[in-house]
Amino acid sequence: MAEKVDYATLKKGGFMRQRQKDRFSLRLHTVGGALTADDLRNIGQIADRFGNGTVHLTARQGVEIPFVRLQDVEAIRAALAEVGLRPGVCGPRVRTVTACQGNRVCPSANIDTTDIAQKIDERYYGVELPHKFKFGVTGCHNNCLKAEENDVGIKGSCKVTWLEDPCIGCSICQKACRDGAITMKDGKMVVDYGCCTSCGRCAKACPVDAWRVQRGCYTVSFGGQFGSKLVQGHTVVPVIEDEETLFRVTDAAIGYFKDYAHKGERLAQLLKRVGTEEFDQKIQEAYRG
């Protein structure tokens, strides 16, 4: 009698069933789409050896090796371990953390997205939850990673303060601002900080450095979802200025989801079912410490 295959455990470990009998697409563990050239060479060799010589790059910056045979599951795990790679996860748990290249590469970025993504991965990746849970980290308000489409979206921000003395009244920053926070009145700059989204475009555009800039801040959204149902995440607290506070609010979000979500229910559906009042209160309490 043939041994029964535990497909649920295989899926949990990154082996997703294909339409072809006893064939799997193996998801690898990646963080923010960052791989070394050696990683890529090794993945290619393993795909030749255990798959059909192809590799799929997923929508969430993941890497999958398709056409892995059931009988090769343990062998491919061992081959990956030999070169410092490992399978990813699927199912109801914290998934691959996505991130843009951040300020290590991008001149617009306000944060080190690679560092934050790695810390999120170390803290949460694979944690068992009622349903999938996704983090997305984007370096600036250009929002290349579409932060608000994630259960928790983190957007690099910077707090700005206008400096009157060096300002020459050129109004370039007014044109750069997309939020209507900067106006000219009687030849003088007027900044409505209540309208400011902390994107930093004003400071970047200024030709005379008439802005004091505090980079390394975070705008965080909650309850986003992209798929068969589209939901834009909402912000709950002001711009966060330090990592300790950032992780207090992300801990609170995951804790609330774990405690109150039904099986198979995303954070967006949980908040639609019970309302946002209690969740927002928990996040605000975490923000205040």
pLDDT tens-digit map of 219-273? 999 999 998 889 999 999 999 999 999 999 999 999 999 999 999 999 999 999 9
Only one residue has tokens 């064939």, namely 23
Q: Give pLDDT tens digits for 99-143.
A: 999 999 999 999 999 999 999 999 999 999 999 999 999 999 999
pLDDT band of residue 1 (cuts 50, 70, 90) is: very low
d(CA 106, CA 266): 32
Section 66-94 average pLDDT? 97
- Give the HSE-up count for residue 168: Cα atoms under 13 Å, Cβ half-sphere: 6
d(CA 119, CA 141): 21
Section 69-80 average pLDDT? 97
Only one residue has tokens 């649920």, namely 8
Would you say the C-alpha torsion 168, 172, 177, 181 has a positive or negative sign?
positive
Q: Are strands 211-222 and 188-191 parallel, antiparallel or unpaired?
A: unpaired
